[in-house]
Structure 1
Amino acid sequence: MESRVATALGAAFPNRSVSDTFGVGPSWNGANETVGVAFADGTRAFCKVAAGGDGSRVARELAVLRYLDAERSVSGPAVLAADPDAAVPYLVTAPAPGEELFDLWETTGPTGREALLRRVGATLATLHAVPFEDHGEIVGEGPGQTAPNTSAVEPQRGLPCDPAPWPDVLRSTVERTREIGTSERLAHHYDAVLDCVEANRDRLEAAPAALLHGDVAKPNLFVCDREPSERAGASGRAGPDGIVPIDWELAHVGDPVRDLVRAEDQLLNGFDTRGPARYAAALYKGYRDRAGGLPPGFAERRPVYEVVRMLGRSGFIDQWRTHLDEPLESLVDRADAELRSRLDAV
């Protein structure tokens, strides 16, 4: 067992025996490491530890899970143990109920995929339906429920936030992407994206404020059609559409349009290609049916978020090369061209 994981589990469960730990699939996030845990009593859990002792992401996710657990319409997995302030910051959660969307996606046809996407869209609409007074960063709390000692931190609907104008929060998320990026080959893209955000500050500032998941990818969504779950130790409430999102460490209070644009991109699109139009339509139909329409200003602000999403390619160009099996220079040229195209569309 890796030493950081062993330290975290020893602190979280001093009287429980761990039979084994196991991988949970590839991740492009170097800030945290997550492993599966099999206990001697047959139950399982997932342990996330922070790299380098920075527990800010763990604290953010813990705060969001506590908020969601307070009888919200959208829920995450149950928290079993956590300490963002430990020498090895950690968060341990129960398995989410249901099956991973990624697995279901691989075993169902187009009609079934559309149905799944409508459910995801409806879940996002439910999440975004709760308005917040201000945009802001979710600052997190320690195990004792004590918010950081700063007057800037204010609870919004029970969620500790550091309020800030939306363009500033968006810029902060760009910088976090820069921090976890795995390649500097296209580092100039970050500056181009930040310049785009700043140039469109007036367009962005009027956006509504809602809790955003921030990482709506297939591995981060579980589909629950029956209770109780057959997964060992699974815990958590499924929302009205049976979708349980996990991995809330990138959550923030921001523009719902940003979450929708990112969701479409992560769920459906390739490096510089778009997924089938019918799938995107299904995602947005689910959202419209639940919310009565798309967020106000969707068409106006979407192009800016399309520019921001390029960093999911630019900052991880080496990872994309592994998946696409193409020469790096070819991908670099294509990424440069795609960013120029998106900037021109703003």
Structure 2
Amino acid sequence: MNDAAAAALADAFPERSVERLTGVGPSWNGANETVGVAFADGGRAFCKVAVDGDGTRIARELAVLRYLAAERPIAVPDVLAGDPDATVPYLVTAPAPGRELLDLWDELGEREGGEADRAALLRRVGATLATLHAERFETHGEIVGSDGRGGLALDPAPWPDVLLKTIERTREIGTSERLGHHYDAVVDCVEANRDRLRDAPAALLHGDVAMPNLFVVGAGTGRDREAEAGDGIAPIDWELAHVGDPARDLVRAEDQLLNGFDERGPERYAAALRAGYAECADGLPAGFAARRPIYEVVRMLGRSGFVDQWTTYVDEPMADLVDRAEAEMEARLEAV
């Protein structure tokens, strides 16, 4: 039994016995550890602990989950317990509603007509992002917790500065410094484009729209029937949430959901994601086309900072991946 998780669960549920802890798959964030929990009474949960002792991410995720659960139209897991100030900060949630998008995506790929079904799923993801981004704020900022009135407490700052802080966080959780100079290049790009970024809308962003973080709520894929009440996408893992430009979240979602190391996924899928967003929001985020190239540069850090992790998914020598990342970063910087 993981000692940190066991300590957190004993603090949160002193009268409940834990039968076992289970792994939840690989994570590229070494600062946290998440385990599945099977209680002796038959209950199930997930426990996330900040193994580095920094409760900032736990406080952020706890605040966002409670904010969204308060009658807002985004399905999220129920919070069972959480303490960002504990010796080992922790968050315990109920299982997410629905079925993991990644599992359904793989299953659909083996069916006749699966491409259309996959596109329908991506439209639902786009609509869910648009619904999330409808939560607007007067200022951009880092989420630091709850405000005590059911809202979110922000550390306000101009959007370029908030974006730079997210870049710092990426470096903190990154697993490789092999391409550390890419962080400097991205920071320089943001600084050089402050005027293009400054007037972006201020919306609630998820910040990590990857398939393992999305669960499909409702039966089927929605391709051949009308949407039903409760249909949608339930996101988990809100620790990177912040208030910023919705265009950044949409660019990141497309990249994480569809693209490879330096290859883009099928355009029909990207178009479905954007179409679902546009239908729900009456268009793409304001300034999407103008700011997209900047966010494409920022997204390269998802390769550069984790190039060692990518070697487990791309069957090529590290040196080749580094060369490809260098070329891709140069091309993206030129596109700005």
Name the TM tier (shorter chain): over 0.9
Q: Which residue of 1 aligns with 2:11?
A: 11
Instruction: Give the counterpart letter for 1:131 in structure 2.
Output: R
> Hey, what's the Cα distance between the residues in 2 that align with 1:210 and 1:219?
23
Give the C-alpha shift of residue 140 in structure 1. Answer: 1.5
Q: SS of 1:25's equivalent?
A: coil
Q: Which residue of 2 aligns with 1:201?
A: 194
TM-score normalized by structure 1?
0.91
Cα distance change on mapping 1:239 and 1:191 into 2, 3 Å: farther
Instruction: Give the counterpart letter for 1:56 in structure 2.
Output: T
Is the Cα contact below 8 Å between 2:217 and 2:230 reproduced in 1?
no
Cα distance change on mapping 1:58 and 1:239 into 2, 3 Å: farther
Cα distance change on mapping 1:239 and 1:307 into 2, 3 Å: farther
Give yes or no for the alignment of 1:224 onto 2:217: yes
Q: Deviations over 1:1-40 (max 9, x none)?
A: 1111110010011000111100000000111100000011
Which of 165, 168, 185 is the equivalent residue of 1:172? Answer: 165
Give yes or no for the alignment of 1:162 onto 2:155: yes
Higher relative contact order (CA 8 A, sep 6+): 1
Instruction: Give the counterpart letter for 2:19 in structure 1.
Output: S
Q: Deviations over 1:228-286 (max 9, x none)?
A: xxxxxxxxxx9854211000000000000000000000000000000001000000010
Identity of aligned residues (%): 74
> Hey, what's the Cα distance between the residues in 2 that align with 1:28 and 1:123?
24
Instruction: Give the counterpart letter for 2:236 in structure 1.
Output: I
Is the Cα contact below 8 Å between 2:75 and 2:97 reproduced in 1?
no
Instruction: Give the counterpart letter for 1:68 in structure 2.
Output: L
> Hey, what's the Cα distance between the residues in 2 that align with 1:240 and 1:20?
32
Q: Which residue of 1 aligns with 2:254?
A: 264
Is the Cα contact below 8 Å between 2:76 and 2:97 reproduced in 1?
no
> Hey, what's the Cα distance between the residues in 2 that align with 1:5 and 1:333?
39
Cα distance change on mapping 1:239 and 1:165 into 2, 3 Å: farther
Q: Which residue of 2 aligns with 1:278?
A: 268
Gaps of 5+ in 1: 147-154, 227-237
Is the Cα contact below 8 Å between 1:122 and 1:241 reproduced in 2?
no
Listed as ranges, the matches of 1:243-262 within 5 Å are 243-262=233-252
Which of 120, 126, 132 is the equivalent residue of 2:131? Answer: 126
| Runs of at least 4 residues off by over 6 Å | none
Listed as ranges, the matches of 1:85-124 within 5 Å are 85-108=85-108, 109-124=114-129
Q: Which residue of 2 aligns with 1:137?
A: 142
Give the C-alpha shift of residue 130 in structure 1. Answer: 2.3
> Hey, what's the Cα distance between the residues in 2 that align with 1:257 and 1:340?
22
> Hey, what's the Cα distance between the residues in 2 that align with 1:19 and 1:319?
32
Give the C-alpha shift of residue 134 in structure 1. Answer: 0.3
Gaps of 5+ in 2: 109-113, 220-227
Give the C-alpha shift of residue 75 in structure 1. Answer: 2.8
RMSD: 1.4
Q: Deviations over 1:173-210 (max 9, x none)?
A: 00000001100100000000000000000000010000
Listed as ranges, the matches of 1:74-85 within 5 Å are 74-85=74-85
> Hey, what's the Cα distance between the residues in 2 that align with 1:263 and 1:24?
22
TM-score normalized by structure 2?
0.94
Q: Which stretch shifts more, 202-211 or 122-131?
A: 122-131
Q: SS of 2:171's equivalent?
A: helix
